[in-house]
Amino acid sequence: MVLINKEKIIYVIIFLLPLFNIHFVSAHQPFEIIPDQINETSIDLSDATVSHAFYGEFSSKNQEVIFNLDNLNGNPLDISILIPDKNPENLSSEDLFPIIHLIADSTEQSFLPDIRSDFYEPFSRMNLIRIFEYKEDKFVNNNAVVKIVSKSPMRYVFSVGYKEIFSKRYAYGDTNPFDQNSQQIWYKKGDLLSDEPNITQQNQSGREIFYVIIFLFILVIFYGIFLFRYQIFYKKKR
């Protein structure tokens, strides 16, 4: 009977997990969009069939982000734009949503978001709203460019691809991997901003209470000094 070393089995399993693309936490590769303050914000995706989610934020009108998508020839093209189901994005009207330009083989198509469907992302625990979706079963070109142009300040997610592969990085340029904690900060930013007036009001109330306590404390001290001096004066008089 051959005895099998348990440690060797564990090492073999760890080695094989990436090869079979087994994952337990994510359904896509999450990345943060980092705005370039000097040049255009651009992200290169060497395989646009692999599922990615790019989290970004427009701070003003007419800002652009460009995605260069590769390895599409004969493969499906699947792209979406989503926004957080939180204030202020979920209160925005359609005319404030960004414009999407799809450029392939010198042909450009422009789209305005025309849907509003709820979407729950279980791994990042986000309630999102899908505002745009484009699918093509067999894309005839190998490359495509997606340009998103803002019409107002807004947080957004650009989703692309359908294959769940996590053993290799495909996205480069003005982007970095986006961990779960950073995703939650991005997602809850609206909540933090809406809480600021309450925090300010609480701080102001706290200061008022502090001033009242100080005033009463000074009043007690003066009253004590008055009583002390009165007792001394009364004793001398007797």
Order the strands of the 171-173 sheet from edge to edge. Answer: 107-111, 99-104, 144-149, 64-69, 41-45, 171-173
Is 84 in contact with 155 (CB distance < 8 Å)? yes
Residue 20 CA to residue 39 CA, distance in Å, equals 39
In this prediction the pTM is: 0.71
How much is the pLDDT for 192?
54
List CB contacts of 97: < 8 A, sequence separation 6 or more: 81, 83, 112, 113, 131, 132, 151, 154
How much is the pLDDT for 2?
45
How much is the pLDDT for 195?
46
The ranges assigned to domains in the chain are 15-187, 196-238
Q: Which fold has domain 15-187?
A: Jelly Rolls (2.60.120)
How much is the pLDDT for 221?
84
> In the 8-state DSSP scheme, what is residue 150?
-
- Residue 39 identity: N
Is 47 in contact with 71 (CB distance < 8 Å)? yes
How much is the pLDDT for 17?
43
Residue 43 CA to residue 99 CA, distance in Å, equals 18
How many beta carbons lie within 10 A of that of residue 45, not counting itself?
Answer: 26
Q: What is the pLDDT along the chain (238 residues), one digit of tens a residue?
A: 444 555 555 454 445 444 443 333 345 899 999 999 899 999 999 999 999 999 999 999 999 999 999 999 999 999 999 999 999 999 999 999 999 999 998 899 999 999 999 999 888 889 999 999 999 999 999 999 999 999 999 999 999 999 999 899 999 999 999 999 999 999 998 775 554 455 445 556 556 676 678 878 787 787 778 776 767 766 665 5
